[in-house]
Structure 1
Amino acid sequence: MIRFVVTLILALAGGTLFTVIHSPLPWLLGPMVFALLGARVLKKVKPLWPSYMRDTALIIIGYSIGLSFTKTTLNEMGQQLPTMIMMTVLLLLFSTLISFCFSKLSGLPLPTVLMGSIPGGLSQMVILAEDTKGIDLTVMTFLQASRLIMIIFCVPLLIFSPLFGGTRSEVAGIEAAHAQWGDLFPNILLFAVVCVVSALLAKKIRFPSAYLLGPMIATAVLHLSGVIGPALPSGLLDVSQMLIGTYVGLLLRPETLTNKFRITGLAIISGAVLILGSLCLSVLLSRMHGVTAATAFLSMVPGGMDQMGIMAKEIHADIAIVSCYQLFRTWFIYFAVPPLLKLAFKYMMPATNAGDEALGGS
């Protein structure tokens, strides 16, 4: 209990500090950094963060993502499905090419670099990597985190720059997109039960990222069938980010990294190249469907649907198109990438270990 309380204090301190300094995603990055530092500094009281804290956060995030799956986004996805498939595949192939180059230059195992280069969400990729034997979680998480940080800081600078002809509007920030606590009841009770049950069921049948995908699918089905689900208060989403950020921070083992400066430099370069590749794909998307440059760029950048949607609102981009492209890529990565990685790892890893090193949870 003492170890848990100490870790909780670290997480709260990190989130508060990063909020004060106006950091992007303060309740994800703040607890992550403080948990990382606390694990290195505190020798007598080793930080502890149970996995069920992370699982709880995944259920909350799964509900939030599933709630965004509306008939509007479904219609948009139906109309532009071929383009979505093509753009998603091109982005994944580009990421694979980056991982091959990174592996050659750094000397790191290709499976670890490949997992770290997949343009999915940080927490989702961590869960996926935990189910994959033979993956160095520290290197994988470091690569994913460095890409996330670059996107968090670079994309807003680009999207609000004269390059896209954008200026920040006076609309309210992230808090305006979420409901108040009193708006949750009574409908949230039904969704809470459904999300927990679907998460446990998905885990029982060994579904990949069960605590995220189970609630996501169940919420989407209920929402599309006409059952209104309340938007979550920003405070609850902050809590979920803190739970995941702290967990990820304790997973990081920077002392195990070899050639730290070289790997860091290559990670920064690969992140910049990925953003540049997304920019090139956005030009193609804009010409194919006549959407604005800002809409196309926010649709292609692998930065997460929530963050890209907020920026789309502030820049007056087409939120429906941005959301459906981001959502489609998220679902594609969740369902298509695990079996593809399982197949690929059979050829990448030694033949004697192929069966054991395959993607376990899939």
Structure 2
Amino acid sequence: MWRTLLAALLGGALFKLVHAPVPWLLGPMIAVLIGSNVRSGLFLWPGQLRNAGMIIVGYTIGLSLTKEALKEMSYQLPTMLLMIVLLLSFCAGIAFLVSKLSKSDFKTALLGSVPGGLTQVIALAEETEGVNLTVVTVTQVIRLMMIIVCVPFLVFNPYFGLAEHNSAAALSMPAGTPAGWSGFFPDVLPFAAASVVCAVLGNRVRFPTAYLLGPALITAIMQLSGLHGPALPSLLIDAAQLMIGAYVGLLLKPQQLTDKVRTISLAVGSGALLLAGSWGFAALLTQLHAVSVPTALLSLAPGGMDQMGIIAHEIDADLSMVAGYQLFRTFFIFFAVPPLLRMLFAYSRSRAGQAKEQP
């Protein structure tokens, strides 16, 4: 664990030195990824540390869910549904293309392309007969890493017209970043206790991404009841990025693949297509609502809500809108997609059985 922490700190410091976007997320992730694959078995990062980072990010997201923000999100529910249906249809098209190019089964390609949470998609793959679990895992992890790496560079690109920023100073110091720890204690203590309790209880009842959504929801509820949570010091935000980045860096294990070149090439290609599709849907969203391209892209990017929330916080995007769209997609995919996929796979099995019975 200490070896992993040292690699993560060095990676974050290097990315900070070269002024890379979201340095304490990308730097630890890439450093740990390289180190763990060069010296396999020597790196370890407990899931509890990742969960702690997600609680911190969840609290930050909850602070943005004010009464005004929630009212604005309620007006956009039809748009949220439209965007998730378009995104899932696009993912199904990518899966069909990948299955034809790789001559593999459609079920494996589809589960590898679903833009859901990594844990729930892998759990669904384990329950589905005939699915190559290794291919699904590697495809999902590569897609997740491509999004985490590429999205920051896209939203920091000056050609995107960052509406939230008018100067380089705004990029280096977001408007909502506090100057220090003044007034942080003891105001944060009730929020911290409630966030941890809701995260643990949510995980026990299998709430989707409980360590992120539990703190976000309880913080929003406490704020709506009249309490005011303090903004987090930048050091805590950086620490949360490191804890999440180091964990993600350990997920990808290419040595477990049998056909590395083909699988990784198709995963990278499908990830690039998904990014391009998200970009297109973001452009459509900016036409439907008065939002900037970076906010729209982070709202629709098929990554984790924790990573997109961190990036939104770093560039001072509309965090409440990003959280609202990502939250809606998380619940839709968690509750609606698994039964739909099971129905689709059962239908395909019955069709295959009928075809075999025919002379």
- TM-score bracket, shorter-length normalisation: 0.7 to 0.9
Aligned to 1:191: 191
| Aligned amino acid, residue 14 of structure 2 | L
How has the CA–CA distance of structure 1 residues 348 and 174 changed in structure 2, closer, same or farther, with 3 Å as cutoff?
Answer: farther
- CA–CA separation in structure 1 for the residues paired with 2:185 and 2:242: 24
TM alignment of 1:119-268, pairs within 5 A:
119=115, 125-129=117-121, 131-134=123-126, 135-136=133-134, 137-157=137-157, 160-161=158-159, 164=161, 168-173=166-171, 175-176=173-174, 177-179=176-178, 180-268=180-268
TM alignment of 1:1-362, pairs within 5 A:
4-42=1-39, 46-107=42-103, 110=106, 113-119=109-115, 125-129=117-121, 131-134=123-126, 135-136=133-134, 137-157=137-157, 160-161=158-159, 164=161, 168-173=166-171, 175-176=173-174, 177-179=176-178, 180-289=180-289, 300-302=300-302, 304-308=308-312, 310-311=314-315, 313=316, 322-347=318-343
| Aligned amino acid, residue 322 of structure 2 | Q
| Aligned amino acid, residue 172 of structure 1 | A
| Aligned amino acid, residue 48 of structure 1 | L
TM-score in terms of structure 1 length = 0.79
Greater alpha carbon shift after TM alignment, 214-223 vs 20-29: 20-29
Contact map agreement 1:300 1:325 (CA 8 A) in 2 = no
SS of residue paired to 1:172: helix
Deviation at residue 277 of structure 1 after TM alignment: 2.9
Greater alpha carbon shift after TM alignment, 234-243 vs 295-304: 295-304
- CA–CA separation in structure 2 for the residues paired with 1:103 and 1:198: 41
Q: How many percent identity over aligned positions?
A: 39
Number of equivalenced pairs: 333
Aligned residues: CA RMSD: 3.1
How has the CA–CA distance of structure 1 residues 130 and 209 changed in structure 2, closer, same or farther, with 3 Å as cutoff?
Answer: farther
Greater alpha carbon shift after TM alignment, 147-156 vs 10-19: 147-156
- CA–CA separation in structure 1 for the residues paired with 2:278 and 2:95: 16
- CA–CA separation in structure 2 for the residues paired with 1:297 and 1:33: 23
Deviation at residue 100 of structure 1 after TM alignment: 3.0
Q: Which runs of 5+ in 2 are unaligned?
A: 127-132, 350-359
Deviation at residue 145 of structure 1 after TM alignment: 0.9
| Aligned amino acid, residue 6 of structure 1 | R
SS of residue paired to 1:251: coil
SS of residue paired to 1:184: coil
Deviation at residue 298 of structure 1 after TM alignment: 5.9
| Aligned amino acid, residue 76 of structure 1 | E
How has the CA–CA distance of structure 1 residues 291 and 131 changed in structure 2, closer, same or farther, with 3 Å as cutoff?
Answer: closer
Q: Which runs of 5+ in 1 are unaligned?
A: 314-318, 354-362
Contact map agreement 2:98 2:266 (CA 8 A) in 1 = yes
- CA–CA separation in structure 2 for the residues paired with 1:219 and 1:237: 16
Deviation at residue 186 of structure 1 after TM alignment: 1.5
How has the CA–CA distance of structure 1 residues 18 and 101 changed in structure 2, closer, same or farther, with 3 Å as cutoff?
Answer: same
Greater alpha carbon shift after TM alignment, 79-88 vs 290-299: 290-299
Contact map agreement 1:58 1:240 (CA 8 A) in 2 = yes
Deviation at residue 130 of structure 1 after TM alignment: 5.2
Contact map agreement 2:55 2:211 (CA 8 A) in 1 = yes
| Aligned amino acid, residue 182 of structure 1 | S
Deviation at residue 347 of structure 1 after TM alignment: 4.5
